[in-house]
Amino acid sequence: MSAVAADGLVVRFGALTAVDGVSLEVERGEVFGLLGPNGAGKTTTLRVLTTLLRPDAGAAAVAGYDVRSDGLSVRASIGYVPQALSADGALTAWENLDFYARVTGVPKAERAARIAAAVQAMELEPLLERLARTLSGGMLRRLEIATALLNRPEVLFLDEPTVGLDPTARALVWERVHALRAEHGTTVVVTTHLMEEAERHCDRLAIMDGGQIVALGTPAELLAQHDARSLEEVFRAVTGHTIAEEGRYRDVRAQRRVARRLG
């Protein structure tokens, strides 16, 4: 049984078809990337898989549970870190962890041990007593990922986890994600619009454009298929255009705000 299986997902917002027939499978223990420009449908796909949005058509299962008929079981089996800031700046790092342990149904007797394990996995030990608002962007992302590990998720969904981070912080976030996979076999589904990052860190990836998956495979396969030296060339070959930073006023504003908070 695969960790994630989606078949023909369609999501419409009025006249706009944000996700247009997305099918994919993610194997257990894999780091799977959804790559594409803003508005390609990556986040919307993630929201269907995390049960935040109901698809208009198609089916999907996460950790073996159907996202439509057994959303509750899906939610109990996943960790999710949205792009928007989800750590509470007015609480300490430890209090953030304690909060998410309480709301994700971690039994009281196991709370301390689970928090300790997540702290170790994300290397947060020296930060626990600090208010989250005093942490750097990279520390915040690691804190958020730690809070998503407390229920021992089978699948961890990360939406643009490295947006607004400097290269050092990015590298550390990725290093911790790889360690998580190596030590616990956690399946990771990650969205990014950074080609270079996807190429280096994902086992397999789906390139999305205009709500559809336009290419799917390991980075090496994609490069070989299109006789390309970089994923940017692959993207241009399969879509006919370059990956451009676009988006409406609201998107830009939201993204800048995230970047500023994390920066």
Question: Hey, is 25 helix, strand or coil?
Answer: strand
Of 80 and 235, CB closest to another protein: 80
91: contact with another protein by CB under 8 A: yes
- From the list 252, 257, 259, 260, which residue makes contact with another protein (rule: CB under 8 A)? 257
In whole angstroms, give the CA distance from residue 186 to residue 198. 18
100: contact with another protein by CB under 8 A: yes
In whole angstroms, give the CA distance from residue 60 to residue 2. 11
Footprint of another protein on residues 48-67 (CB under 8 A)? 50-53, 63-65
Question: Quick one: which segment of 81-89, 199-207, 213-221, 239-247 binds another protein (CB under 8 A)?
Answer: 81-89
Cβ density class 188-213: b for 16+ within 10 Å, e for less: bbbbbbbbebbbebbebbbbbbebbb
248: contact with another protein by CB under 8 A: no
Nearest to 38 by CA among 245, 199, 255, 260: 245
Please state the separation of Cα 237 from the chain's center in Å: 26
Nearest to 230 by CA among 199, 192, 186: 199
Of 61 and 180, CB closest to another protein: 61
To another protein, the closest distance from the beta carbon of 230 in angstroms equals: 32
To another protein, the closest distance from the beta carbon of 73 in angstroms equals: 6
188: contact with another protein by CB under 8 A: no
- From the list 59, 131, 194, 237, which residue makes contact with another protein (rule: CB under 8 A)? 131
Q: Which two tokens stand for residue 221?
A: 């396969």
Residues at the interface with another protein (CB under 8 A)? 47, 50-53, 63-65, 70, 72-73, 75-78, 80-88, 90-92, 95, 99-100, 102-106, 131, 147-148, 151, 157, 254, 257
